[in-house]
Amino acid sequence: MANLKKFIASKLYPLATYHPLKLSEPAKTIDIKTAWKGLELIIEDILIQFEIGRDNCIEFGVEFGFSSVVFSNYFKQVKGIDIFIGDEHTEEKGDHYEKTKNSLIAFENIELIKSDYRDWIKNDQTMYDFAHVDIVHNYKETYECGYWAAMHSKCCIFHDTESFPAVRKAVYDIAKNTGKKVYNYPFHNGLGIIV
Ligand SMILES: C[S@@+](CC[C@H](N)C(=O)[O-])C[C@H]1O[C@@H](n2cnc3c(N)ncnc32)[C@H](O)[C@@H]1O
């Protein structure tokens, strides 16, 4: 049933496939279990192919910080926004702010902010080089946070376009409603790319 839903979503919300030219391992990563593993190999390729600047990056959905650390290799500043209590789709449900903060202490260019994306986007008018959305994988939240992120960045990526049809639909709709281009990398649960 879940596979049928994914198949239908791929037909209803077609996204051009992203083809990396070169896979590269970031110099620094952290060893934790995450569904994001594997995507670190294409981040530099995305930055090169779309000629994205390397100053600032914002991430919504940090959890234990795997993706934040990947971005810290490429940007001068990385902001990570998370409620740090998990959500209906994560295994972790307790408060993990201190745990994540302590394990990222060595990465001085990562700033963690304990906030709901809804509160954060009310007050931030910054234009970012790069944004990442990996929060609760529902349509409403992904669309709302992702629309803001796409409008406030040159390139915005979204995790779980393959594993959550709601995320794929949100990415498809955000690209349509912002008039931006969209691609999908169909591995490691899927990565939507809006530029
Ligand atoms: C799938 S995890 C992120 C995984 C992470 N990107 C990684 O590299 O492993 C999703 C995170 O989104 C956070 N989250 C869920 N809803 C949120 C919201 N409304 N605002 C901010 N963060 C939220 C959860 O607390 C959780 O830590």
Protein residue with least CA distance to atom 17, ligand 1: 135
Q: How confident is the model at residue 50 (pLDDT cuts 50, 70, 90)?
A: very high
The answer for 55, left when phi > 0, alpha when psi is -120 to 50, beta otherwise, is alpha
What are the extents of the domains in the chain? 2-27+34-185
Q: Is 63 in the pocket of ligand 1 (CB under 6 A)?
A: yes
Which of 83, 112, 130, 164 to mutate to test ligand 1, by most ligand atoms within 8 A of the CB atom? 83
Report how far residue 56's alpha carbon sits from residue 124's, in angstroms, rounded to the nearest whole number.
13
Q: Is 164 in the pocket of ligand 1 (CB under 6 A)?
A: no
Domain 2-27+34-185 has CATH 3.20.20.60: no
Q: How confident is the model at residue 17 (pLDDT cuts 50, 70, 90)?
A: very high
pLDDT at 5: 85
Crossing angle between the packed helical segments 139-151 and 165-178, to the nearest 10 degrees: 40
Give the CA angle between residues 53, 59, 64 to the nearest 5°.
130
Query: How many angstroms does the Cα of residue 65 sit away from the middle of ligand 1?
Result: 10
Crossing angle between the packed helical segments 165-178 and 2-12, to the nearest 10 degrees: 10
Q: Is 38 in the pocket of ligand 1 (CB under 6 A)?
A: no
**Do strands 128-133 and 153-159 pair parallel, antiparallel, or not at all (unpaired)?**
parallel
pLDDT at 2: 79
Per DSSP, the residues of 128-170 read: EEEEEE-S---HHHHHHHHHHHHHTEEEEEEE-TTT-HHHHHH
pLDDT at 88: 87
Entry pTM = 0.97
Q: How confident is the model at residue 60 (pLDDT cuts 50, 70, 90)?
A: very high
Q: Is 160 in the pocket of ligand 1 (CB under 6 A)?
A: no
135-160 pLDDT, tens digit each: 999 999 999 999 999 999 999 999 99
Query: How many angstroms does the Cα of residue 109 sit away from the middle of ligand 1?
Result: 20
120-130 pLDDT, tens digit each: 999 999 999 99
